[in-house]
Structure 1
């Protein structure tokens, strides 16, 4: 793990424990950090906190105040933090189910969501079930029991439904439709690769690892190769190429293939 990120995560856990005391069951690095794929300057820091029971409004506010970038500077692009009760984490529910959500950082708009009902449907409600499924497989325990003992996997039908929702959400975002290189299109392609590998093989991989697995098997090798190279400074694909790829992946996952 990047030593700067490791120190930040240690400080984050200490701050969370100051607020939550014995109600803090565990803290887990997720996303690229949990998968060992953190890329300085590009990756976010994703953290899931697990608490013994529901948090009252005061402790939610105190937690956000202690962990937001202005109080605890995040060394990455930003922090995406979600707190769950132990019951929700272990339930396998596809619903958001969180206690509080915080997005904060120098390159990330501040956002605090105090209740799942406040999460606009247009912003996607599929993230949380998918994130907990990834945590079950790859969560890095900063505090508490192993992630696989705390977070339950999604049922196969729920997993497929959320993968489909996620792809449809990404396809609905504004994207250049011409053939010019579109910065960020490489992540759209590689994110779809990760979903397809999970649907086909039942494992979560980082975006680059998922793309490499598919390319090595002969699936869209040329496009995926360009996308992997783009993450290291190469020319990204066009928005039109990314959308067409996402549609092909969506069709396969939706069909149950």
Structure 2
């Protein structure tokens, strides 16, 4: 799958790491300072979350009155797939989201996919990736009301900052390439629900309201998933390896390598894997062990700061590894050559769950809320964690 957000860094024409010189080092130091400030802001947000316990306790009455999210069917599976300590806050946000969405638009079903469905959900780091099936296409009035609802939810519930949702009209479920209204990164976008997301939903999507994905979504056609992955690789990730400054960002390194590993497994074995499983796959593919460890720590622990020189070297190695893997993935018959070393076997990707999608195209400036919209997507799943 749409992924993620810090401000874009546009590389100067012809710039490469070996020729970057002192100007690049100054840039890296500046970015390191920005990174430190962002870590401080994340720490502040985590400390504020700790003060939510009183409000969550006050909300127990709401849950006690009963919500189909906590007491029925697939929702029990959702609670079992996230760490118990985080179930209360996240579940409360999902309950409220489903309730408020149904009050704004006629809603047929609400499903969860991504880490939530694959069992690798990390509170405070993983996105809440949702799909809402609505009865009919949304007019401008309903779009505005949905944008206002999402903004209000973000303002009042810290966990909602990572909630993303695409709204699919029931009449357009069969149209795989169609764009759908999507809330992500604090703004309204238009983007498709990719074959990766559809496959996730069909294999194990969590039903939060209404019929299950298998009851409404048509099955993927033969080769549809693989074709999408190869197109995403060639159209987004391969060009990205030619932009060195992008690979100074943590999110680019993380997504680039994880997407590569997940795509490799999907093209080779026909199955989807979690980001945790992708980390193990990366080592088998020959990725630099220290870079893989760095990615793991950002997802599952508290990573140590990275200095400018190490950041440069890490970006160079990650970019070279991803480019080499993509070239092998796109080579004719690369996935089927019997004698190929696994470390050189092609990942083909641009897809994680949801295709690690590019964030999509913003719609109508009037519908885009201010403030939180500062998370600017760089391109298609251009990173969205």
Q: TM above 0.5, one fold?
A: yes
Report the Cα offset of residue 34 of structure 1.
1.9
Aligned residue in 2 for 1:183: 250
**Aligned residue in 2 for 1:245:** 321
The CA deviation at 1:12 is 0.2
Residue of structure 2 in register with 1:26 after alignment:
109
Hey, what's the Cα distance between the residues in 2 that align with 1:170 and 1:32? 21
Q: Deviations over 1:162-218 (max 9, x none)?
A: 21233341343444389xx75231332012211111111111111221332464xx3
Partner of 2:273: 205
Q: How far apart, CA to CA, are the structure 1 residues paired with 2:204 and 2:244? A: 31
| Conserved 8 A contact 1:137-1:204 | no
Distance 1:61 1:71, change over 3 A: farther
Does structure 2 retain, via aligned residues, the 8 Å contact 1:15–1:66?
yes
8 Å Cα contact 1:5-1:75 kept in structure 2: yes
Q: Is contact 2:167-2:182 (8 Å) kept?
A: yes
Structure 1 CA distance, aligned partners of 2:225 and 2:329?
10
Q: After superposition, what is the alpha-carbon deviation per residue over 1:100-132, rounded to whole angstroms, capped at 9, x for unaligned? A: 2112xxxx4x3213xx4xx6xxxxx6x634322
1:136 corresponds to which residue? Answer: 202
Tell me how far 1:222 sits from its aligned partner: 4.8
Structure 1 Cα separation of the partners of residues 124 and 238 of structure 2: 25
TM-score by length of 1: 0.76
- For residue 12 of structure 1, the aligned residue among 80, 97, 101 is 97
Q: Which residue is equivalent to 2:217?
A: 151
In structure 1, the partner of 2:130 is 47
- Tell me how far apart the structure 2 counterparts of residues 152 and 248 of structure 1 sit (CA, whole Å): 35
Maintained 8 Å contact 1:30/1:140:
yes
Tell me which structure has the larger Cα radius of gyration.
2
SS at match of 1:145: coil
Match in the other structure for 1:122: none
How far 1:138 moved relative to its partner? 3.0
CA contact (8 A) 1:27 1:47 kept: yes
Equivalent residue, structure 2, for 1:170: 237
Larger strand proportion, structure 1 or 2? Answer: 1
Q: Matches of 2:246 and 2:281 in 1, distance apart? A: 28
CA distance in 1, matches of 2:226, 2:329: 7
Q: Is the 8 A contact 2:287 2:321 kept in 1?
A: no
Mapped contact 2:111–2:132 kept (Cα < 8 A): yes
Are 2:226 and 2:266, in contact at CA under 8 Å, matched by a contact in 1?
A: no
- Contact map agreement 2:93 2:160 (CA 8 A) in 1: no
Alignment partners' CA distance in 1, 2:324 and 2:194: 24
CA contact (8 A) 1:27 1:50 kept: yes
Q: Match of 1:195?
A: 263
Q: Report the structure, 1 or 2, having the larger helix content.
A: 2
Shift of 1:66: 1.4
- Structure 2 vs 1, CA of residues 207 and 152 (structure 1 numbering), >3 Å: closer, same or farther? farther
| Contact map agreement 2:116 2:129 (CA 8 A) in 1 | yes
Contact in 1 for aligned 2:134/2:169 (Cα 8 Å): yes
Change (3 A) 1:8 1:143: same
For structure 2, which runs of at least 5 residues remain unmatched after alignment?
1-81, 336-385
Do 2:117 and 2:206's aligned partners in 1 also have CA atoms closer than 8 Å? yes
Tell me, in whole angstroms, the C-alpha distance in 1 between the residues paired with 2:261 and 2:148. 37
RMSD: 2.9
